[in-house]
Structure 1
């Protein structure tokens, strides 16, 4: 089986029921994938902040983050260029939205 990037509109994404047939289906799927990736980045950025006292809840959220991450990897492995772009755009948007503190330097608690 050869694996290569392609730009077709017919694609099965993760589940047999998530099947696109044309460019409109790919576009709608791209929006869903971008949102899923933004959620993944949000969970990744804020998991420890939100649930640092409740270890069992933090564990559950970690598993959710892990499963979403594997779903995104499998979506990327369809080698559909549009879906790969959606994952990359979602990661960029999610990082931009949820990682302001990391990049601004405002979270430095040194020497207070």
Structure 2
């Protein structure tokens, strides 16, 4: 068990008892997987923003047809709710990975989040959608 300070070790238990690294190959493989997970998290956030903007436009109408009223029981709202729950789970997984205080894993979370933002959020530059938190 490591103290609660940043360290550069390769021996780490990550999230589950079955995800244990004990050498450089294990930590490098985990870094790659965590980087992809963080990028997917950003993609999921941006996909949810995209769905929200499209649903908002649908509710406002487009001049050719009357606006649709939002409904808690609509299929799109259920889909967005499921995506939100997945985003919460992945976000907490990333937070817990960062809280291993393993520098390599912290870098993977950060680089993956940055890469995902670069890859998926480039259209947000002209939008007023902002993140209050991750």
Pick the TM interval, shorter chain.
Answer: 0.7 to 0.9
- Point out the structure with max Rg over C-alpha: 2
Aligned to 1:54: 76
TM-score, structure 1 as length reference = 0.88
Moved over 3 A (4+): 50-53
- Tell me, yes or no, if structure 1 residue 97 matches structure 2 residue 98: no
Matches of 1:50 and 1:24 in 2, distance apart? 39
TM, length-normalised to structure 2: 0.74
Following superposition, the deviation at residue 94 of structure 1 comes to 0.3
Aligned residues: 106
> What corresponds to 2:96 in structure 1?
74
Q: How does 1:29-68 map to 2 (within 5 A)?
A: 29-50=30-51, 52=55, 54-68=76-90
Where structure 1 has 5 or more consecutive residues not aligned to the other structure, the ranges are: none
For structure 2, list consecutive stretches of 5 or more residues without a partner in the other structure.
Answer: 56-74, 129-134
Which stretch of the first structure deviates more once superposed, 48-57 or 31-40? 48-57
